[in-house]
A and B are shown apart, each in its own frame.
Chain A
Amino acid sequence: MSREMTGAQMVLQALADQGVDHIFGYPGGAVLPIYDELAQQDRLKHILVRHEQGAVHAAEGYARSTGKVGVVLVTSGPGATNAVTGLTDALMDSIPIVCITGQVPTHLIGNDAFQECDTVGITRPCTKHNYLVKDVNALSRVLHEAFYVARTGRPGPVVVDIPKDIQFARGEYTGLTNSQHKSYNPRVKGDERAVAQAIELMAKAKRPLFYTGGGIINSGPLASARLRELVRMTGFPITSTLMGLGAFPASDPQWLGMLGMHGTYEANNAMHDCDLMICIGARFDDRITGRIDAFSPGSTKIHVDIDRSSINKNVKVDLPIVGDCAHVLEQMIDAWKAKKPKLDRAALKVWWAEIDRWRARNCLSYRKRDDVIMPQYAIERLYALTRGHDVYITTEVGQHQMWAAQFFKFEEPNRWMTSGGLGTMGYGLPSAVGVQVAHPDSLVIDIAGEASVLMTMQEMSTAAQYDLPIKIFIINNEYMGMVRQWQELLHGGRYSHSYTAALPDFVKLAEAYQGVGIRAEKPSELDDAIREMIRVKKPVIFDCRVDKHANCFPMIPSGEAHNHMLMGDDVTGEDIEKAITEEGKVMV
């Protein structure tokens, strides 16, 4: 079906045909024709953010919590450049985003026109693909292709740059077609022979381990369901990266917790000592592997990934399987059922006994205190008191993020939104906005740090405008905690510029944004304050004043192997307190 309409109308029509309900954006000169069309309809809801970075993070939160493509609409020049951090974040974490940017009219491109920038040039390395549309008759095809590219294969952000004259121009609109893309056709099914080999290896394994990641989440709920089936069928232990939390239930006895730099003792030791590693939808990131030449030295490695370039990038694997997690997991389940393998029960029993010894180390233990709230305690209480609610968690980046990953237990996929690859401070608040837009009746909490959250604080205003009752739970220690932790461990405790000396009053700030501010300073106040936060049906900033010097353990220091972890109880609180001088605190 093709119809004549303007470019701006095509944008709205394409979004409708793609089933888009919400877009996050900010108007400006070069997108006004599209905004004019937006005003003349009410099917598509537009969420006006306060900064374009916030628009992309909100779309990421929306996408990650729904499995749909997040859509962003911004103007040319600064609108596009402000979106770059969000686009890069989405690229690193494989989040499907379509970002429509306005551009100066075609005849002005290259003239250094007002609010002109080379959007496709700037966003080329931070998108999965991008387009500059110079012909209105190509616009509908490009928009539909953008959605296809964003959501298929390894998902990612796609930019469509539309010059203003193209938005005004009239042309033919073509709806969705089933035509195959001429060069981009990602493979979803794994090679059957490789799957059979994988099952062989799994049947013989004495110390097997599943190592899973964000690919399972991206693949969809079916992948999580099949992962659970396969893991339970085999009885093997499983760990996951930060991005993969929730794919396998944290309450399951086979779950070892997160692995990596701040992963659990049991997960990291199991990675180091396993004889068969079954990696599904993870990418051997440097936060996971630690020292690469000492990474899991004795294991045979199977790697399932939809992106061929993720295989053998950091770690050489023995059996690569290229395909979508959900499909390959189904193939593995079928092959396992068909083969009915006889497992080496005796060896597996020894392996589990070893794991139980590591578990007994109780690596996440910390010293509770009556006088100050320990950050770990704050998250434990937040977790306990939110049971029975429909909870979605987003985070900023830093210590609080790692504590959230360690102490908040996820049972389901798509409940955990965090900036893993890029590590974008300021991700959590706008992301929570996006999650709340998608799930208006759910409890959406941004576990935040006071430094991170100030980077995108303006989005509180967005939350107020759309009555989004997001909860910003700030683990406030007045430091950029992770920076300080590294300075402590690696730079002789010289706290160069990691202390924020003039923080705002977060309670008053919440009120200024037409929200509610709550503060807790003592462990005895914490539970009631959290209950109050949950009860309030408005945006809340919760200023949780925590121990200023707590550090995040366990930890694999850089350049170390998985079995050389630094444990929390190796470093006493007194040592760290002594290490911090008054001078250090005010070093700004």
Chain B
Amino acid sequence: MAQPGSAYPLEKKEQRPETHTMTVLVDNEPGVLARVIGLFAGRGYNIESLTVSETEHEAHLSRITVVTSGPPMVIEQIQHQLERLIPVHAVTDLTVKGNPLERELAMIKVAGKGEKRVEALRLAEAFRADVIDSSTGHFIFQVTGEQSKIEEFIALMQPLGLVEVARTGLAAISRGPERM
């Protein structure tokens, strides 16, 4: 019996994946986010985090920050595929530019009484988290910082009565005086 085959090359390329943060400046028009997300979904790229907001109201420009991962050739592709979209003004790979400032905000609801409650508040102070809502039975903390700090804080809250977490996803900007 002949060996089953394929009309396509089936071998997989082995390349180590890297994580990159990109910012995409787009016209804030209907469907623009669908174009960006559809590109990632359709071409099989990863989205680890995505944030979007209008950043220049008069020019109707929105800034999308996306954290993605993939082998170097794929990362290069992602940038150029994004640039191909008609409403995209600019794409910057902040990771390639080097050492960008990356921050996230999280709101963390913790319920509990007694010793656990005191401990949660003490840790929140150490993490410079603000209490933005509270009752005798709960706190909602707001914590800002790098993702690792937020992850760490959430892990610490876990045994202390963590109820739920809302996170904004990453916002990022390059260092120095230049525009992207």
Contacts and interface: CB of A to CB of B under 8 A. Distances in A.
Interface string A109-134: 00000000000110011001100100
A125 B88 CA distance: 16
A486 B7 contact: yes
B145 interface: no
A32 to B, nearest CB: 26
B9 A316 contact: no
B34 A309 contact: no
A576 to B, nearest CB: 13
A149 B88 CA distance: 14
B126 interface: no
Contact of B1 (A120, A293, A492): A492
A291 interface: yes
Contacts of B81: 309
A309 B8 contact: no
Interface string A309-341: 101110010000000000000000000000000
Given A120-B31, A492-B2, A558 B77 contact: no
Interface string B1-31: 1111111111101000000000000110011
Contact of B2 (A132, A291, A312, A491): A491
A380 B99 CA distance: 63
A125 B4 contact: no
A292 interface: yes
Contact of B34 (A124, A183, A291): A124
Given A291-B11, A312-B77, A559-B11, A183 B87 contact: yes
Given A308-B80, A312-B73, A491-B4, A558 B9 contact: yes
A316 B10 CA distance: 19
B86 interface: yes
A124 B81 CA distance: 14
Contacts of B1: 492
A308 B77 CA distance: 9
Nearest to A121: B34
A182 B27 contact: yes
A490 B11 contact: no
A182 B59 CA distance: 10
B74 to A, nearest CB: 9
Interface string A271-311: 00000000000000010001111000000000000011101
Interface string B112-137: 00000000000000000000000000
Among B1, B2, B13, B73, the most chain A Cβ lie within 10 Å of the Cβ of B2
Given A128-B86, A309-B80, A490 B42 contact: no
A124 B38 contact: yes
Contacts of B175: none
B35 interface: yes
Contacts of B85: 129
Contacts of B30: 132
Contacts of B89: 182-183
Contact of A292 (B9, B31, B38): B9
B5 to A, nearest CB: 3
Given A292-B13, A313-B77, A492-B1, A129 B6 contact: no
B48 interface: no
Interface string B78-108: 0011011111110000000000000000000
Contact of A183 (B8, B13, B27, B31): B27
Contact of B10 (A128, A183, A559): A559
B9 A559 contact: yes
Given A182-B89, A308-B80, A312-B77, A124 B35 contact: yes
Given A309-B83, A559-B5, A559-B9, 16 more contacts: A120-B31, A124-B31, A129-B85, A129-B86, A132-B31, A182-B27, A182-B89, A291-B9, A293-B11, A309-B77, A313-B77, A486-B7, A490-B3, A492-B1, A558-B7, A559-B11
15 contacts: A124-B34, A125-B38, A129-B85, A132-B30, A132-B31, A183-B87, A309-B77, A312-B73, A313-B73, A313-B77, A489-B5, A491-B4, A491-B5, A558-B5, A559-B11
